[in-house]
Structure 1
Amino acid sequence: MSEQKKRLVIAMTGATGAIYGVRMLQVLQQQNNWESHLVISNAGLVNLKYELDMPRKELYALADITHGVDDIAASIASGSFKTEGVIVAPCSMKTLAAIAHGFGDNLISRSADVALKERRRVVIMPRETPLNLAHIRNMASVTEMGGIIFPPMPAFYNKSNSIAAMVDEGVGRVLNLFGVNVEGMFAQWEGL
Structure 2
Amino acid sequence: MKVTVVGSGNMAAGFAKRLVAAGHDVRLVGRNRGKVEALAAETGASAVAAVEGGASDVIIVATPFDGAVDALKSLGDVSGKVVVDITNPLTADYMGLTIGHDTSAAEEIAKALPGVRLVKGFNTLFAQVLAAGPKLADGSVPPVFLAADDAGAKAKVADLAKSLGHPVVDAGPLRNARYLEPLAGLNIYLGYGAGLGTAVAPAWLPLA
Q: Does the alignment reach a TM-score above 0.5? A: yes
Counterparts of 1:1-192 in structure 2, within 5 Å, are 6-12=1-7, 18-32=9-23, 34-42=24-32, 57-61=37-41, 62-68=43-49, 71=50, 74-77=51-54, 81=55, 83-89=56-62, 91-98=63-70, 104=73, 106-107=74-75, 110=76, 113-114=77-78, 117-118=79-80, 120-127=81-88, 128-129=90-91, 130-133=96-99, 136=103, 139-143=106-110, 145=114, 146-150=117-121, 152-154=123-125, 164-165=128-129, 173=144, 177-180=157-160, 181-183=163-165, 189-192=204-207
**What does the per-residue CA deviation read over 1:26-54, in whole Å, with 9 as the maximum and x for residues that have no partner?**
1112123x100100223x96xxxxxxxxx
Q: What is the TM-score of this pair, normalised by structure 2?
A: 0.52
Identity of aligned residues (%): 13
Report the count of equivalent residues. 144
CA distance in 2, matches of 1:60, 1:166: 17
CA distance in 2, matches of 1:41, 1:178: 28
1:125–1:84 Cα change, 3 Å? same
CA distance in 1, matches of 2:99, 2:166: 37
**Unaligned regions of 5+ residues in structure 1, if any?**
1-5, 46-54, 155-161
With CA pairs under 8 Å and 6+ residues apart, which has the higher RCO, 1 or 2?
A: 1
CA distance in 1, matches of 2:59, 2:69: 16
CA distance in 1, matches of 2:121, 2:44: 22
Answer whether contact 2:121 2:144 (CA < 8 A) is retained: no
**Unaligned regions of 5+ residues in structure 2, if any?**
135-140, 147-155, 168-200
Displacement, 1:56? 5.2
Which consecutive aligned stretches of 4+ in structure 1 deviate over 4 angstroms post-superposition? 166-172, 184-188
CA distance in 2, matches of 1:30, 1:151: 18
**What does the per-residue CA deviation read over 1:92-113, in whole Å, with 9 as the maximum and x for residues that have no partner?**
23323436xx8x2x33xx3xx5
Q: What is the TM-score of this pair, normalised by structure 1?
A: 0.55
